[in-house]
A and B are shown apart, each in its own frame.
Chain A
Amino acid sequence: MVAEHAAEAGNMGQQVGHMIMHHITNGPHMELPSYNDFTNEVHLPHIPAFEILGVTIDMSITRHVVMMILAAVLLILMGLLIRRKIAIVPRGFTSLVESFVLFIRDDIAKTTMGEAGARRYTPYLCSTFFFILTCNLLGLVPYGSTATSNVSVTAALAFMSFLMIQGAGMRKMGVFGYFKHLIPPGVPWWLAPVMVVVELMGVLAKPFALCIRLFANMVAGHAVILSLIGLIFVMSFWVFPLTVAFGAFMYLLELFVALLQAYIFTMLTSLFIGLLIVGEH
């Protein structure tokens, strides 16, 4: 009988694992509210993959793509809403957005990049911050899913940051000067090739860390909440008070982590740009 119970729990565990994977990963289905059952599964259009230069690109619209488009539309709406109301003393929603932008400009950009750098790079930092924040928060809403829990999305964001960092360095020092900068001064000539390799690895590792940090934080939050709810099915029904309470606490923590990860991504990008611009003269 113990073996039967264990087999049943194992089977239920597999189904719960399947449910968790279905909710976390990307897919061609999207859930919308319906008035008959709880959800209505909508099948999203599949654009057939095409080939460019031997690389197969699949442009079909999946759940995360819809979330990213929604985040972009929301941000454009936000921009349109506040442009009429920019004044010396803003009120209401404009004041909220302005407090975020001033926070990015003063506490993130100016402290790491100085005045001139802040003026040039604050727009990119604001775009990154607001887009990551909106994508993270859309995942916490019912029927929404986190676009940034897809490693391709975070890899694209980290790649954009990589381009900005290298572009800032090359703009400041010239293309050749930037490669010369990779060799720290005061290094014996026989050590220089090793130093170049190490510096190049550092240049590549920092955006990779940005990508993985954001991806892992977002996936971990959702996985924990879904596992806790799945626990109701694997064990008996009566663990639900403990599970739901713990799940609510994890939801609050995930809200904090969403804000924090957007801030950390922006702050680290600004820090890396600032290291190259301000430099150690």
Chain B
Amino acid sequence: MEGLAYLAAGLGAGMAVIGGGYGIGRLADAAMHGTARQPSASNDIRTTMIIAAALIEGVTLFAEVVCIMLAVK
């Protein structure tokens, strides 16, 4: 039965990365569009993009922490 925990950890980590990657991809798309429309705002857009990317990645890493706890216990 401990094999199920490993399976859940692997599946959970994969699905968390799918969600995080998709979210950050859409964020980068919006940032590209914004910078293309107004190149002079590129610095502000870059700062906002990095902050939003770190927040999304924080959420993804919640799930990773849960998966690590599943895999080692």
A-to-B contact residues, CB < 8 Å: 21, 107, 209, 212-213, 215-217, 219-220, 223, 260-261, 264, 267
Contacts and interface: CB of A to CB of B under 8 A. Distances in A.
B61 A216 contact: yes
Contact of A267 (B51, B61, B64, B65): B51
Given A215-B65, A216-B64, A21 B72 contact: yes
Interface of B: 47, 50-51, 54-55, 57-58, 61-62, 64-65, 68, 72
A213 B50 contact: no
Main SS class of interface, B: helix
16 contacts: A21-B72, A209-B58, A212-B61, A212-B62, A212-B65, A213-B55, A215-B65, A216-B61, A216-B62, A217-B57, A217-B58, A217-B61, A220-B61, A220-B64, A260-B54, A264-B51
Nearest to B61: A216
Contacts of A212: 58, 61-62, 65
A267 B55 CA distance: 11
Contacts of A219: 65, 68
B72 A216 contact: no
A267 B57 CA distance: 16
Contacts of B61: 212-213, 216-217, 220
